[in-house]
Amino acid sequence: MGIYYYLSCQQCGQYIHFGKMLRTQDRVVLQGMYSETAQAWVQDARVWEAIQAFLFDHRSHPLRFESDEDNRALDEYVEVELDVLLQKREGVKMESI
């Protein structure tokens, strides 16, 4: 199975999921974020866009980057999916134009 990593908002009980830690030839990276639309793990600019949307939604809230080994309470949290965050981020871009 493996250890999975998350960024969670302790105030709202929501999290974004980054998958497993992967070891490449010269560094350690996170798997990315899973896209239900693409039915695949994503490791491109869309991940950064989604992270920004999550951070803006939870600014000034206590956030924690942790693994499922560190926080068993994540079962009680709600996952915010990549595609939902990207739709929200696109709405913000449209409003700012």
Across-strand partners of 6?
A: 17, 66
CA distance linking residue 13 with residue 32, whole number of Å: 21
pLDDT category of residue 71 using cuts at 50, 70 and 90:
confident
Stated pTM of the model: 0.85
Burial 11-29, CB ≥16 within 10 A → b, else e: eeebbbbbbbeeeeeeeee
CA distance linking residue 33 with residue 41, whole number of Å: 6
Q: What is the mean pLDDT of the chain?
A: 89
For residue 93, the model assigns a pLDDT of: 54
Residue 33 neighbours by CB distance under 10 Å: 23
For residue 94, the model assigns a pLDDT of: 43
pLDDT in tens, 13-48: 999 999 999 988 889 999 999 999 999 999 999 999
